[in-house]
Structure 1
Amino acid sequence: MKRTVTLALLSILLVAAIIMKPDEAFRASLQGLTVWWNIVFPGLLPFLTLLELMTAFGVVHAFGTLLQPLMHKLFRLPGEAGVAVAFGWTGGFPCGAEATSSLRKSGALTAAQGNRLLALAHMPNPIFIIVVVGTGFLHRPELGVAILLVVWLAALAPALALARLAKRERAESASPPPANLLRRAAAAMRDARKRDGRSFGKLLGDGVTAAVYKLMAVGGFMIFCAVLVRLLAPAIPGIVPAYALPGLIESHIGSYAAATASFAGGLPWKAAAAAAVLSWGGFSAMLQAGAAVIGAGLSLRLLAVSRVLQSAIAFLLMLLAWKPISRLTDGIAPAFSAFSGREATSFVPSGAVRASELHTLWPYAPAVLLAFVGALLLLSALSAIAAKLRLR
């Protein structure tokens, strides 16, 4: 009851603020729409459609069988969790949450496993970090790669630690040899396809429809959060850093604000702040995850706690590893110079993302899909090796 009343009061206050400042709200909504169309839509549409197709054709079940030895050994999770991790780490918010919710609803995960997988798989888009944050905001593509690795490590560390503490919730039989693993994967794929039974045309139509519907919801969350940032900014005390509010609410706008803020520590602190914002994801990412896991019995409160922890780890890790990172990036910076594609431009101090300063992800969609396929194949190879070593 208290939660409902609080949300209702906040909604009324937001509507009142929009009515009082319609111009500010309109400009902020255009900013959120620009980010959604240039970054989120091309980054998510192929993955959300592919998730539906892979589930219906049994590909998720096949890879779940292949990845069982690796995922159980590392994270105490079933093999299908590896597919969710690959979706989340290559597609970005909320692909990992969608895949986790699908697995939980199908009964492949317990509630405890689903909460741990949600924290591991609900990750920012890697192409956004490299192309937009590294190249567009910091004008250092190699720093985008470094931030991406720090964000991933900050997620892996708690996941591995929690896996060591997790109870074995079901008995695990000895892993079969790799050849038998392949036969079991083929059988799982065939059985799942028979259970679904929809034609390819029906599947494709359902997949695209569901993906566009979910993307519209994501766009609504992003526009709402962009308007919220713009309307709340004047009420924030001057002692609070300008990047704190956007970083708390929306990761795309927040990473821009962090990358263009003035820090006494210079570039290392900018990179650390951007890594922290991206690891946290903002309330926008929480809302996206909440919409994805409705009916799955997963806890957003635990997800929020894990994001705060990952954000702190990413911030500290970037600062601690800055010297080796800077030595490495100084050596490879010339190789990235052509990737940047344009000279550094001066950003507006207000923190508003302009379309002219925003790299679009549309040209990178095929490359991201190839990266997803490569990630699944790499995980499968590692899992086969893990199964073979376990039998020795």
Structure 2
Amino acid sequence: MERRRSNNIDNKPVKGIYIHIPFCSLKCPYCDFLSITNTDQNLHKKYIDFLIKELSLYKNKFQFNIETIYFGGGTPSLISSSLIEKVVRFIKDNFKCIQNLEITIEANPNTLSIEEIKILKEAGVNRISIGNQSFNKKTLQKLGRDHHPEQTIKLIDNCLKAEITNINLDLIYGVEDQNLKDLEEDLNKYTNLPITHISAYMLTAYEDTPLGSMVLDGKYKLPDEEETIEMFYLINETLEKKGFYRYELSNWAKKGYECKHNIFYWIDEYYLGVGVSASSYIKDFRFTNTRNLGVYFEKLSNNKLPIESKEKLTKKDKNFEKIMLGLRTIWGIKLDLVNLSKVEILVDNGFAYIKDNRLILNMKGLSVINEIVLQLI
């Protein structure tokens, strides 16, 4: 008997692979990502061997057409570039990939020699995201960072010498004692550099971090909402004058240099996450790996995937995520996702506009995006 075909078959391929490298030389007080303070190269090598084992368990599970690979952390640039090369080579040899892959690695300013960058370039890495955060020494101190501004300049120079020209610099604003003048000076330094992308994040005091505890105990004072909104406007105004355009709440790029991997997160494309604590989103499921390195090694030793939790997303869940993530972008969301009377209120009050049957937030709307999302869901 012929099996009846479903009209709902999901043939959408997995397009992105996220690779979590958890190792750091220093744990930043504001960071809530899983990181392990360890510079032991033997452990790094063991971890990569197991990560490749995890990738091998996935290669026949889903339909792949890989367009982006993203090494995040932690500090991926802390491990040997030859290990990064090993992972990239395995993916290219075992997964269907497009020819012009976007391959990003996150790097700290005090890592990566010119020789290491050349190895990355040979491996196919063509985008480097540098965790600079600020050129202001006082701000860096308040963030607990261990690099000097000069190291960022040197790293950018070395990237260009190795012919990696797609460079992102991270910026953090809303730091204790940071004022608009400090931020403006930082922005001027950023925009005078030969970079293609800037990610600007407001400092957030997450509950289970040292910064979160300091804020709770009154030992660290964050600026109020009005000040951070002023900073957000200043960032956007300054960057747009210098040829960067905002394509997402926290991301500005020169035309053609948008981060394709991150866009996949925001526009509902499927991605695979490997490594400790990494999350994946494929079909109707989100699954997340164990945060315990020992458990990660043990499960893979037994040919088992190191998944700790798996969640089946309902249509309501998926629509919520489409609203929450889509509104962050310049593409906005389809009007059929939300109540039109609520849309009308937003537009009438100057928080958003409608274009091509999509609801798009303007700067006023983006500055209060969390409240708007709550109104719409």
TM-score, structure 2 length as denominator? 0.24
Q: Which protein has greater RCO, CA pairs closer than 8 Å, 6+ apart?
A: 1
